[in-house]
Amino acid sequence: MAKTIEKIGVQSILVTETKTVADLLKELNMSEDHVVLLNGKRVGLDYMVHENDTVVILPLIEGG
């Protein structure tokens, strides 16, 4: 399973100071075109991320 996680680009980072989701994406060199889940709930770019929060960043998926 570790190889699968490595292939899909799962990374773990430590948030050491409170910041907005937009600031976190910028720090990670990611565009704002992502879905962000904070502790399992979808949040907007202005939502605050705190130490010990669990953040999942997913690319937008299009298609039909």
Q: Which residues contact 46 (CB under 8 A, 6 or more apart)?
A: 20, 21, 22
pLDDT digits (tens, 9 = 90+) for 1-48: 445 445 556 777 788 899 999 999 999 999 999 999 999 999 999 999
CATH topology of domain 13-59: Ubiquitin-like (UB roll) (3.10.20)
Cα dist. 43→2, 4, 14, 22, 60 in Å?
28, 27, 19, 11, 14
Residue 60 has pLDDT above 80, yes or no: yes
pTM: 0.77
Report yes or no: 38 and 18 within 8 Å, Cβ to Cβ: no
Q: What 3-state DSSP class applies to 43?
A: strand
Report yes or no: 45 and 20 within 8 Å, Cβ to Cβ: yes
What are the domain boundaries of the chain? 13-59
